[in-house]
Structure 1
């Protein structure tokens, strides 16, 4: 204490006085006690004597015992607490210090801010220790981000939201929607019938888009990303674990330019009109706020860190992850891939809630689909984890019946340039389920609303 400055000593005295005054107030007022016990814990107190008294007061309150100096001192004596604070004199001084509970809010604010400061210092010290012990720096950074955010959010998370406040918020939102004339309440998918069913992809939603290989789920997800970025003017993040960014951009250019994707990929056979369309598509894509990460072997902890940073710096409307089974936790789960995928699924759902953004995650389906006569996917076909079914707010399956016909060796018909596709909503936590009909244009690798073949993405 001798080395503390006058300013630091004054700060300690202010905190100690606030702690003492809060205890004095709750020992005299049941209404104040209800408020304090819903906000503070004994760990919020820095003076050991005050910790002990707070715990005793809380136990008496929960037992519905009338609190006064007699009942409290008897309780503390019986439970070997009175000697820990130096006897009845300390308790008497506390009770006699009460004047009014008018400044309770101010005292609580002082205590809460001090607790936040102490926890933040502890997090920073822990970060320093991990750096000194040469922990992987990407893990340290991601963990630090989460812990720092948790310091602030923890106190808010303990508080109830009242129907009085929340109902008014919902009514205000409904009124805004009515006056705006806008049907979408979330991020647009860019597909008419899908947006009608979902009202857009909603904040905090974890969305699964699943299909067998080569069904076009990456192409559809890219269509979602580009259309959403163009219509909402918000940032859209794409995490591509499977495909490098150059290939993704090639596919987007092919899709929007309506130039044969093989020509875009090889650069061969391009005509003047093709180049005009490609240039137009490139200019369009440059003006969308697409952020692409193509880190191979991406860990969820890295994805969380990158996405939190992006959300701090931009208004993010949508996130696309391609795809779930290629992510890893970086943690050893033995031979249980199912357990690891379950963990990833839970973490992505929590991340969507935390950042209040819709996350679309692509997923593979098991081979069991191929063994059935009716090859339309069902939720039990989701590969590696039944937890995906539980965590997801929306589960969509992409299905093209013509795909199986064109891959049938006994079918000698010439493959069609376009195919009807079904987007099957098997789960929709906050809305209807059903199917949306789309048109798949194979040459461009793009999807359109059914019947609008010439629509661009």
Structure 2
């Protein structure tokens, strides 16, 4: 890198002016906090310490003047670290007459964004220099994920008056009333389930949980297939467990009814089977389904994919992740419970950002195996209670024949709506035609 860009980007007077404004008037917090959050944007560590101390005083409804601030910092043992009381007064004097706190906060935030961009640029350069030419695509995807989170903080208002919020809600109610009968959101393809969930709605996170070999991946593929190929919805599928070929093969089986084992063996396919496969391929060639089978698709990768599809096509109607616990954790040093919590919270926030429903598969712990009926419960969600907290709906799958092949209920699957933030809980029975990679509502079998 050239000498003229080695110095980090920061603006000392702007950082001091922000702190001075906060010590001058409580009104400044309204303009500053949306831009600087918890203070990560400050270049000087002492400024971040002062800023966080001011937030603590504000939250306790105490004065934020330099004297009270100095007393607080003395009590926490940080007054000397920040330069003592004289430095607090120096920040006060850095405030110009008629200063606007938001203006200086924007400057601080913008410089922080430039520093972050420079940091990620070095990270990308290091990865490119260390990588082999065969790793180019992987490194490029990593770089897109790293850059996806870099944004300049905005002071755009996020609140709305009742008149505005209620007006938008009233319009939505009218659209629902005028729409054809059926689920309000995107249907899953299982009629009984749709009647309970009322479809998958934008901004909501739905978890499909089960023990291994029960069929949660099959259900997710069925939902993606129904939305993209029958309804024409734009769907993104991130498959961390199966390859692109495996996903496609299962969808061929589900869509045509040709048994999966016969398709996999290929040589056992009959002429009629080939005709069905060819017709299905022709009929669904234009389906707006995006399949990403990267085994290292972390939260940043999936966020970047969703944003890119939305930018290129103007919409993203549904995002599916199979499955959550396979996603690389954002913070490898955190406990596993904290990692899974970060992932579930990240998916929920992404659903709101992309304004589309997200459906994610996740594993259950061994709790069901320790009960006589093997029936799963919400408490069986593996590794994090935040999964239950973040999800709008939780669907648990239970098949008796998964544990007992001789069960009289072989071929049935209980779809347990264990959590439904906007409706009732219920247990529904669907047909499990796993040899054809599909679940089917019993009402239409």
The RMSD of aligned alpha carbons is 5.3
Indicate how the Cα distance of structure 1 residues 107 and 199 shifts in structure 2: closer, same or farther if over 3 A, else same: same
CA contact (8 A) 1:193 1:449 kept: yes
Indicate how the Cα distance of structure 1 residues 407 and 287 shifts in structure 2: closer, same or farther if over 3 A, else same: farther
1:117 to 2:109 alignment: no
Separation in structure 2 between the aligned mates of residue 38 and residue 259 of structure 1, nearest angstrom:
55
Indicate how the Cα distance of structure 1 residues 32 and 176 shifts in structure 2: closer, same or farther if over 3 A, else same: same
SS at match of 2:209: strand
Separation in structure 2 between the aligned mates of residue 137 and residue 290 of structure 1, nearest angstrom:
25
1:318 to 2:318 alignment: yes
CA contact (8 A) 1:42 1:54 kept: yes
- Please list the CA deviations of residues 78-122 of structure 1 after superposition, one character each: whole Å capped at 9, or x if unmatched: 99857559xx9x899768x62x46x66555544543443344335
Partner of 2:248: 249
Q: 1:172 aligns with which of 162, 168, 175?
A: 168
Indicate how the Cα distance of structure 1 residues 444 and 52 shifts in structure 2: closer, same or farther if over 3 A, else same: closer
Partner of 2:216: 217
- Please list the CA deviations of residues 154-191 of structure 1 after superposition, one character each: whole Å capped at 9, or x if unmatched: x46x99954x4477336404413422534655443222
CA contact (8 A) 2:205 2:391 kept: yes
Instruction: Name the stretch that deviates more: 144-153 or 220-229.
Output: 144-153
Partner of 1:7: none
Separation in structure 2 between the aligned mates of residue 53 and residue 294 of structure 1, nearest angstrom:
46
Instruction: Name the stretch that deviates more: 200-209 or 345-354.
Output: 200-209
Indicate how the Cα distance of structure 1 residues 141 and 400 shifts in structure 2: closer, same or farther if over 3 A, else same: same
Separation in structure 1 between the aligned mates of residue 263 and residue 126 of structure 2, nearest angstrom:
51
SS at match of 2:298: helix
1:426 to 2:421 alignment: no
Indicate how the Cα distance of structure 1 residues 83 and 126 shifts in structure 2: closer, same or farther if over 3 A, else same: farther
1:346 to 2:341 alignment: yes
Q: Which runs of structure 2 are paired with 1:259-274 in the superposition (5 Å)?
A: 259-267=258-266, 270-274=269-273
Separation in structure 2 between the aligned mates of residue 46 and residue 25 of structure 1, nearest angstrom:
18
Separation in structure 2 between the aligned mates of residue 92 and residue 210 of structure 1, nearest angstrom:
55
Instruction: Name the stretch that deviates more: 42-51 or 263-272.
Output: 42-51
Separation in structure 2 between the aligned mates of residue 433 and residue 226 of structure 1, nearest angstrom:
25
CA contact (8 A) 2:340 2:383 kept: no
Deviation (angstroms), 1:346: 1.9
CA contact (8 A) 2:393 2:417 kept: yes
Indicate how the Cα distance of structure 1 residues 303 and 286 shifts in structure 2: closer, same or farther if over 3 A, else same: farther
- Unpaired stretches in structure 2, ≥5 consecutive residues: 73-78, 311-315
Separation in structure 1 between the aligned mates of residue 298 and residue 53 of structure 2, nearest angstrom:
45
Partner of 1:308: 303
CA contact (8 A) 2:142 2:301 kept: no
Indicate how the Cα distance of structure 1 residues 167 and 406 shifts in structure 2: closer, same or farther if over 3 A, else same: farther
Deviation (angstroms), 1:123: 4.6
- Please list the CA deviations of residues 297-356 of structure 1 after superposition, one character each: whole Å capped at 9, or x if unmatched: x34xx43343133112213433434445555659988xx9xx53x345323313313422
CA contact (8 A) 2:210 2:398 kept: yes
Q: Which runs of structure 2 are paired with 1:108-187 in the superposition (5 Å)?
A: 108-125=105-122, 148-152=147-151, 155=153, 161-162=158-159, 164-165=160-161, 168-169=164-165, 171-180=167-176, 181-182=178-179, 184=183, 186-187=185-186
CA contact (8 A) 1:250 1:264 kept: yes
Separation in structure 1 between the aligned mates of residue 166 and residue 184 of structure 2, nearest angstrom:
12
CA contact (8 A) 2:23 2:92 kept: no
SS at match of 2:317: strand
CA contact (8 A) 2:28 2:102 kept: no
CA contact (8 A) 1:123 1:148 kept: yes
Q: 1:440 aligns with which of 432, 439, 444?
A: 432
SS at match of 1:447: strand
Deviation (angstroms), 1:435: 1.8
1:450 to 2:426 alignment: no
- Unpaired stretches in structure 1, ≥5 consecutive residues: 5-10
Partner of 1:8: none
TM-score by length of 1: 0.67
Larger CA Rg, structure 1 vs 2: 1
- Please list the CA deviations of residues 239-278 of structure 1 after superposition, one character each: whole Å capped at 9, or x if unmatched: 141x433233222112111233343333356554433322
Separation in structure 2 between the aligned mates of residue 368 and residue 55 of structure 1, nearest angstrom:
43
1:195 to 2:194 alignment: yes
CA contact (8 A) 1:26 1:32 kept: yes
Deviation (angstroms), 1:192: 2.4
Deviation (angstroms), 1:195: 2.5
Separation in structure 2 between the aligned mates of residue 236 and residue 191 of structure 1, nearest angstrom:
20
